[in-house]
Amino acid sequence: MEGLTGKSVCVVDGKEVKKGYRIKEDFVIRTIRSIKKSLGIAKNNKLFVCEEHKELLIKKRKNYERIAIIISVSLAALFIFAVFLPLIEGRLTVFSFISFLLITVLMFGMLFLSHVPRIEEKLSKVGTTSTSKNKRSSLKSKSENKGNKSGRVIKHKKRKTKAKKKGK
């Protein structure tokens, strides 16, 4: 999260949030960020999910994890039967080896592109973190937030969100 200078946005609809659940900056997110950085198009947004989209994201994440497990198990089985056993028996062909590699790259590419991030922690106001490293800045933003305790929670217009999703 550190070094991120952009807005705090909801990962589901990309809108700015005042309150939300922090998203885990995992391998895929970090990779996408560094690719964007090298292309000069990184927004460096802080990633959250808003209250409204929380359940949806949890559901999507569960589904994604299930697919990831199925793919991993399938690839492991494929490796054993299409590469490892033939190799031992001395009948592994270049064709089947390359086929296995292509399928593996394809599957991981698919997982990468359909990646759904995980929620990191409980409800936190934007700009606060639970890590000790950020405690000081967290305290600072807390006192800053005291001024507008009325809590401007952004309410998403459902219709707009759906339309935006379709256009994705």
- What is the rounded CA–CA span in Å between residue 65 and residue 74? 14
In the bound complex, what is the minimum distance in angstroms from residue 95's beta carbon to Zn ion? 47
Task: Tell me which stretch binds Zn ion (CB under 5 A): 42-50, 68-76, 92-100, 127-135.
Answer: 42-50
Q: For the chain, how many residues are written?
A: 168
- The β-bridge partners of 8 are 46
Minimum distance from CB of 162 to Zn ion (Å)?
12
User: Minimum Å distance from CB 12 to Zn ion?
Assistant: 5
Query: Measured at CB, which residue is nearest to Zn ion?
Result: 10
117 lies in the site for Zn ion, by CB under 5 A: no
Of 60 and 108, CB closest to Zn ion: 60
User: What span, in angstroms and rounded, lies between the C-alpha atoms of 14 and 26?
Assistant: 18
46 SS3 class: strand
- Contact letters for Zn ion, residues 45-84 (x by CB under 5 A): -----x--x-------------------------------
Site string for Zn ion, 6-25 (x = CB under 5 A): ----x-xx------------
Measured CA to CA, the distance from residue 82 to residue 63 in angstroms comes to: 28
Rounded least distance, CB 166 to Zn ion, Å: 16
7-10: long-range contacts (C-beta < 8 A, 24 or more apart)? Answer: 7/43, 7/45, 7/46, 8/45, 8/46, 8/48, 8/126, 8/127, 9/45, 9/46, 9/47, 9/48, 10/48, 10/49, 10/50, 10/53, 10/156
Nearer to Zn ion, 97 or 125 (CB): 125
Least distance to Zn ion, CB of residue 56, Å: 9
If we measure between CA atoms, which residue out of 106, 97, 105 comes closest to residue 79?
97
CB nearer to Zn ion: pick between 40 and 167: 167
In the complex, the residues that contact Zn ion under the rule CB under 5 A are: 10, 12-13, 50, 53
